């Protein structure tokens, strides 16, 4: 679980903000701190199950500032769902994706395939490396189709109701601080 309780301390000191700071600067600071922490925790959770690094590298967030609102958007590759929750048995995944994964893992199918012995001492046809890779991809896809994959919970352990509730509380405090800063600024003028 991600602990974002540190967000509550943001904006407590008036010295953090200049008199020309934009309205909602504390809220924006809270959102950026939250986003950075979430991205860091998600990437750390993926260390053991990120073959190509593409999923980890794809994790980022954007904050869009409207006139009276902020929009926080977390983005990552679509297949994060299967990495997070696993894949139940049933349908086979696309073999093309398994082939890519084999390439990322630098798996050499020649190391996996045993030298078959045919009846009568005949030698089997030599398979090309491409054929071996395709065969291995088929076998892996068939295994996933039959048995599924285990969940990693890399996402659901970080982005959950507890974390979102901590963010809501921190944003409520940040809004209060922003209002107090604006009141203090208006009294200075």
Inter-residue contact 152 to 45 (CB < 8 Å)? yes
| Residues 107, 51 contacting (CB under 8 angstroms) | no
CB 155 within 8 A of CB 46: no
Which residues is 149 bridged to in the sheet?
87
Tokens of 106: 């630098």
Tens place of pLDDT for every residue, the chain, 189 residues?
677 666 666 655 555 544 444 445 888 999 999 999 999 999 999 988 877 788 999 999 999 988 888 899 999 998 899 899 998 998 888 888 888 877 777 777 666 655 555 666 666 666 677 777 888 888 889 999 999 999 999 999 999 999 999 999 999 999 888 888 888 888 876
Q: Which tokens sit at 45?
A: 């959770």
For 52, residues 6+ apart whose C-beta sits below 8 A from its C-beta are 100, 101, 104
Phi, psi angle pair for 186, to nearest 5°:
-70, -30
Nearest residue to 76 (alpha-carbon basis) of 66, 86, 84: 84
Contact (Cβ atoms closer than 8 angstroms) between residue 90 and residue 145: yes
> Tokens 């994060």 identify what position?
80
Q: CA-to-CA distance for 143 and 101, rounded, in angstroms?
A: 15
């Amino acid at each position: 679980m991600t602990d974002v309780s540190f967000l509550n301390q943001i904006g407590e000191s008036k010295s953090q903000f200049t008199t020309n700071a934009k309205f909602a600067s504390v809220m924006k600071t809270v959102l950026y701190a939250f986003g950075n922490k979430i991205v860091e925790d998600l990437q750390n959770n993926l260390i053991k199950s990120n073959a190509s690094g593409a999923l980890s590298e794809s994790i980022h967030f954007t904050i869009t500032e409207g006139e009276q609102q902020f929009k926080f958007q977390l983005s990552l590759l679509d297949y994060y769902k299967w990495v997070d929750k696993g894949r139940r048995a049933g349908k086979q995944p696309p073999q093309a994706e398994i082939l890519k994964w084999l390439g990322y893992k630098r798996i050499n199918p020649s190391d996996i395939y045993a030298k078959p012995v045919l009846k009568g001492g005949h030698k089997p046809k030599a398979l090309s490396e491409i054929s071996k890779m395709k065969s291995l991809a088929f076998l892996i896809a068939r295994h996933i189709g039959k048995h599924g994959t285990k969940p990693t919970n890399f996402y659901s352990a970080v982005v959950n109701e507890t974390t979102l509730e901590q963010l809501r509380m921190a944003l409520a405090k940040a809004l209060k601080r922003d209002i107090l800063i604006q009141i203090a600024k208006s009294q200075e003028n």
